[in-house]
Structure 1
Amino acid sequence: MTATLAPTGVRDDASPTAEAAGRGFLLRSFARPVWWVEILILAVLYGVYSLVRNSVGDVVARAYANGREILAVEDAWGLALERGLNDWVHRTDVVAGAVALHYATLHFLVTPAVLAWLFVRRPTRYRAASGILMVTTALALIGFYSLPTAPPRLLADEGFVDVMSQTSAWGWWPASGSPGSDALSNQFAAMPSLHCAWAAWCGVVLVLLVRRTWVRVVAMVYPFSTFFVVLGSGNHYILDVLAGVVVLCVGASVVQVAGSAGGRLPGPGRSSGDDAAALVSRS
């Protein structure tokens, strides 16, 4: 792989195709993020994320009402794909186990791995890409707090089967599929789907910035496999999935506007002439 040097001398071997695809806007940022600062920022943000996500209060009745309303809208529009997918998944043990494993693991492994890869291999792209992820997550938290929603798997009277509960004895995950205890997990943080938003973010990042064809193919498949998994497991409605993608697009737009408004303000470790091309979607 042929490496090129960014204006600051930082190694950045993004492909020419990725370079061309990443010129929708320029975001002025540090040439290379400081690792301990980034870890501190991510730790603080994760703490805030966990606090808000799991601070639902007494909203059980409202969450179930919201879930039923979403399902009713989908039924009226013929969008309730999760009904058929969930029915097929829970009837096939191998598929149910694979779906549960995907849901309980990849969401918590792939996103941090992509962030780490960006930091090490695409440092000039890291600030914009991580900014999009953070803004997207913040917007999703607003949704969790303002619109608590019971996922399909909790609506047994609608014919849904809780695949995570069905397969929890097969693996290490609790019935909710969260990395922690069910007692500490917000079962009603469903709208929008962060699983889908984060998976789409990972896919876009890798497709734009990786050279190897097979990696880009896997990157394109990953978001769609996540969409299938969250629907088939009964963890999300199709409208949750669509809302997750919309939130990601809004997050990218916010970062684009912020980058355009930022101009050439120099920061620590960067001169005013250091231009870092940011990650963007294809236009």
Structure 2
Amino acid sequence: MIGMRSANPTHPRFSWARSRSARVRPGVWTELALIAIGYGLYSLTRDAVPDHKTAAMHRASSVLHAEHVLHIDIELSVNHALDKITPLIVGMNYYYATLHFLITIGVLVWLYTRQPHVYRQARTVLFLATVTSLIGFYFFALAPPRYLTDHGFIDTVVKHHTWGSWATPDVDSVSNQYAAMPSDHIAWSLWCGIMLYRYAAHRWVRLAGLVYPAFTFTVIVATANHFVADAVGGALTLTAAFTAQHVVHRLRPAGERKPRVPEPASGDATVRMPSVSDTK
């Protein structure tokens, strides 16, 4: 048969599409419930992390010193340089507080609706990375650079009175301010970037996937919310999540991992070559 060209499941972009179950889109209400419950548990667990202020502040100073020794302590310079551009730093404050969630949810929805063959595995990687970060929050309470005012850091949210974050009264009572290591902003933005780069059809979207985590890194440093070390920690948690997903995938029975060529969509036009019997 000669027909419209269909996607090749053995192509790198379809490396997760190896079983029949992976191609079945899960129920939308089930997924919404899982996301809502997962985020609720994430928020409760993150905010329930012990508020070890003294230890968190001491670790922050130690991290800054270690970065100085390694010559990667760029946080203070970036913080001061971009704070001089008020519209830019205020925009970054809002970016930090909102896009972290909105873009991640948007990519999840896009995968669910347009890339169901990879949705389950991608969602699992994001879940594993988030759980790993919670472990880091619990065992390594760390203050963000904005608390190190004696080192000259500027809390850009407080200075510019940005709405909706820790400048709001009593926010410390509902959000743990010492859960900086690892950076979920980096883990989640890298996840989004990888998904967009691997599975988006348009080149400009794939390029945006590369730019998004890089710009997010600039934002978390400029607003003094994270150290460079926190970003490295976020990248490592995502790497561990991808590794765990890969190991689980390889442990599945060989029959479940055998690639299956997808059936042509109902709208695909096909042309059948005439056989000898048709000419008689």
| TMscore range, shorter length | 0.7 to 0.9
Q: Output the CA distance in 2 between the equivalents of 1:156 and 1:81.
A: 16
With a CA cutoff of 8 Å and minimum separation of 6, indicate the structure with the bigger relative contact order: 1
8 A contact 1:18–1:210 mirrored in 2: no
Partner of 1:269: none
Partner of 2:177: 187
Query: Aligned partner of 1:81: which letter?
Result: I
Partner of 1:9: none
Whether 1:119 and 2:112 are equivalent positions in the alignment is yes
Q: Deviations over 1:150-181 (max 9, x none)?
A: 00001100110001222234xx322369xx94
Q: CA RMSD in A?
A: 2.7
Whether 1:173 and 2:132 are equivalent positions in the alignment is no
TM-score (norm: length of structure 2)? 0.83
Sequence identity percentage: 32
Q: Deviations over 1:120-165 (max 9, x none)?
A: 1111110011111000001011000100100000110011000122
Q: Output the CA distance in 2 between the equivalents of 1:248 and 1:220.
A: 16
Q: What does residue range 1-283 of structure 1 map to in structure 2 within 5 Å?
A: 19-23=11-15, 26=18, 29=22, 31-169=24-162, 172-175=163-166, 181-263=171-253
8 A contact 1:206–1:219 mirrored in 2: yes
1:204–1:119: structure 2 CA closer, same or farther, 3 Å change rule?
A: same
Query: Aligned partner of 2:119: which letter?
Result: Y
TM-score (norm: length of structure 1)? 0.83
Q: By how many angstroms is 1:265 displaced?
A: 8.2
Q: Output the CA distance in 2 between the equivalents of 1:25 and 1:258.
A: 14
8 A contact 1:30–1:124 mirrored in 2: yes
Consecutive unaligned residues of structure 1, counting only runs of 5 or more, are 6-14, 267-271, 278-283
Q: By how many angstroms is 1:101 displaced?
A: 1.9
Consecutive unaligned residues of structure 2, counting only runs of 5 or more, are 263-280
Query: Aligned partner of 2:97: which letter?
Result: A
Q: Output the CA distance in 2 between the equivalents of 1:249 and 1:75.
A: 25
Query: Aligned partner of 1:20: which letter?
Result: P
Which runs of 4 or more aligned residues in structure 1 lie more than 4 Å from their structure 2 counterparts after TM superposition?
A: 15-18, 24-28, 272-277
Q: Output the CA distance in 2 between the equivalents of 1:36 and 1:123.
A: 15
Query: Aligned partner of 1:245: which letter?
Result: A
Q: Output the CA distance in 2 between the equivalents of 1:121 and 1:24.
A: 15
